[in-house]
Structure 1
Amino acid sequence: MAKRQIILDTETTGINPREGHRIIEIGCVELVNRRFTGNNYHVYINPEREIEAEAIAVHGITNQRLAAEPKFRDIAKSFFDYIQGAELVIHNAAFDVGFIDHEFARLRPALPPVNEYCAVLDTLKLARELHPGQKNNLDALCRRYDINNSHRTLHGALLDAEILADVYLLMTGGQVSLNLAAEQHQGEQGDSGEIAIIRSSKLKVVRASADELQAHESRLDLVQKKGGSCLWRN
């Protein structure tokens, strides 16, 4: 069965939804079986309240920019339908899920909390397990995994979701992503063409210790003594 994951990020008017802060941008990147599908979701939202200056300094989004954008209630159904049943992959998931649950609870009728229809994977928690005692924000992870985020001068939900997708895949073993246009062309021309690989994993190399190498050589000695052939010594 195909595994559908949504790499998700939000931008908000402030830090705490309990103080009336709202979501102003949602960005999502879809993976199916660890492959980018191109079926992404991105929307700006009029929060119907002022955005704090500290928040604007982070994401650069102003009330003037959002004046003509839809309200959350206008996009709630399409967003709910998009994420329903997927595993959400979020950096510091408690923050984003808390805001989404707050927005869903404001609706009439209300929509249920995220954890009732989505699994949630927190990449911040995963990064802390993999890299204890180190900085594990998105910028630090980009440096650690050699991901170029030089174009990221301000936070943005879709841009951050795209970067997080790369970080997540490298943290969990890497993958190849299919060039969808090439794949479609191949389908039209038959199976003779090659699928274009546009991403590759950066895998950790684990080398054998001296004791393991000695044990391996001893095993080969035994194979040869019994009359067998050793490819490693040919």
Structure 2
Amino acid sequence: MIHRLHELAGSVQYPLDLAGVFAFAVCGALIATREDFDFFGTLLLAEAAGLGGGLFRDLVLRIQPVAFTDLGYATAPFLATLLVFFSFRAHSWDTAWAVADAGALGMFCVTGTVKALHHGLNAPASAALGVTTAVGGGVVCSVLAREIPSSLIWDRDLYVVPAVLGAGLVTVLHATSTLRVATAVAVGLFAFALRLTALRLEWRTPRSVLWRRACVGAGPGDRGRDDRAPDRLIPTSKT
């Protein structure tokens, strides 16, 4: 079943993969240029954002990374770098890039999970690789730029959650023998729509109890100090 799905999707997956890599690479290039990286630094972050998740997935699956066997996967980040580095207008298309990034997120959380299932991994491992395929490149890019990955910070719009739900639904469909091209596409669209809805409505993941307690009772003049609040609540060891 999963082998047949992989074959059926193959004819349309390649151009979609390149489009997704390009979208992620643009986001990486935008981070690099805003940090005043040179061209090669921008290209490095674009490559990391576009290919990092898939590269990690293929290495875990012990297969030759497709980024090293197909020139298209290296060309897409290069084109994204040219667009962002030499065009001022590219920086003003934030909405368009956010939509493209959401589409790539929805697609890669599905295709990454399907590929892991195709190579015999169990459901939890396959879902984990699907999520990594979708968000791993962005994490690597942020680390290279010396930033905390936005997907790990509580006050950012939902990013990992759509990928987790998408990858999890793929494994459920596989377990119930209902994983088809149509149902896989539906899951990708669901993750895409959830990400866009989170952007539109500014949905956030919950903050930890420690931080919520620290912020309770903070007055208007304390807003600038709440970043240090948990230090007052963490017990210190007594000697």
After TM superposition, the score normalised by the length of structure 2 is 0.31
More strand by share: 1
Q: Which has the larger radius of gyration?
A: 1
After TM superposition, the score normalised by the length of structure 1 is 0.31
